[in-house]
Amino acid sequence: MNTAPDFLLIDGLSRSHGRQRVLKDITLGLPQGALTVLLGPSGCGKSTLLRQIAGLEPLDGGRIVCQGQDLAATPPERRGFALVFQDHALFAHLSVYDNVAFAPTEQRLGQDEIARRTRRALEALQIAPLAQRGIHELSGGQQQRVAVARALAAQPRLLLLDEPFSSLDPGLREDLQHMLRELLHAQNQTALLVTHDQREAWALADRLAVMQAGDLVQAGEPDRLYSQPATPWLARFLGHRNLGDRAVWLDQDLRLLRPGQPVPPGGAPVPVTLSALRRLGAVCELSLTPSSTLHPLPPSWGAGPPVWQMQLSRREWLALDSPETGQALVLRVDAPGHRF
Ligand SMILES: Nc1ncnc2c1ncn2[C@@H]1O[C@H](COP(=O)(O)OP(=O)(O)OP(=O)(O)O)[C@@H](O)[C@H]1O
């Protein structure tokens, strides 16, 4: 659990366009050094909130407090925030390298530090080979990566990212998400990233905030939102589908077996930890302890090779990505001893 004090407090923000209430009394803290992901369907108000934090959109109510200081009178350029919006806004007359080196140079850092930060950001975004190119010689996706690298190299007080990887292919996007997360942590960078892509949110978020139609539905640790969604809408949005009281049968690759499906050959018992499940593309939470294991069923439970049954201490929610559909399946698992 993150106990660091909030770096930024969004306190009761609202915004309307005509009769449409785009933001309804949003309150959210951004912890120092953490990446908070703001997730929600298209049009729910994410970008509006980001723009308000940046100082580019008026507030109809509420306040934004950064390290104890109300930002109402602080113009965007004095906030010390870096923004990556969907239009990139790169310096067209500068090379890729000079775009990324721009902020460290303005900050009058030493030559070595400028070069180090610039190189690190270029490498993280996998654009070092493009360093000497002009901006007009880049694809849209490459420009997007330059924009992210430029913002990272600035090491701002707060990094604001609006759908920063939207133009990229899925494979590259996943690589860059991984690199971004590593670099943000290495820099202890406080950041807020907006996306409507759930995979991106799960890959990146230290904290997750989900919006729906101008409301902040829930914010907190991603696993907590997943296992204890605050509203039925959020449960559905996150992919929960209750399959009822059924036994959970898993093969050694943690694939779900349907009733009656032939049991594949088993392997060694698989220790189940949250991180092991996540590596396998699954999410499991609530009170599954790190020491929980999958045990082979005793032979009396059926002929044939062993399968694994998850031993759980009490009623749990178990969510696994279905390899067939790519959708998350959530199963309610009853206590051991209960025969399904
Ligand atoms: N200048 C404006 N005038 C009128 N309505 C606006 C204006 N800007 C935004 N809106 C409306 O406010 C709502 C929220 O827009 P916003 O861009 O914040 O959503 P979003 O969650 O970021 O969406 P997306 O993921 O599609 O970018 C939308 O219904 C949008 O049409």
pTM of the full structure: 0.72
pLDDT, tens digit, 9 for 90 and up, residues 68-117: 999 999 999 999 999 998 766 899 999 999 999 999 999 889 999 999 99
List the beta strands (DSSP E) in 44-132: 61-66, 69-70, 81-84
Q: Which domains does the chain have, with CATH numbers?
A: 6-231 (3.40.50.300), 239-333 (no CATH)
pLDDT tens sequence across 241-286: 443 323 344 444 444 444 444 444 433 223 333 333 444 433 333 2
What is the ipTM score, two decimals? 0.95
Q: How far is the CA of 59 from the centre of ligand 1 (A)?
A: 14
Beta-carbon count within 10 A of 29 CB: 16
Which atom of ligand 1 lies closest to the CA of 45? Answer: 18
Report how far ligand 1's centroid is from the alpha carbon of 303 (Å).
59
Distance 195 CA to ligand 1 centre (A): 13
d(CA 44, CA 36): 17
| Percent helix, strand and coil across the chain, each to the nearest 5 | 30, 30, 40
Is residue 214 in contact with ligand 1, taking CB distance under 6 Å? no
Q: Does 50 contact ligand 1 (Cβ within 6 A)?
A: no
Q: What is the end-to-end Cα distance of the chain in Å, rounded?
A: 35
40 lines ligand 1 (CB under 6 A): yes
81 Cα: distance to centroid of ligand 1 (angstroms): 22
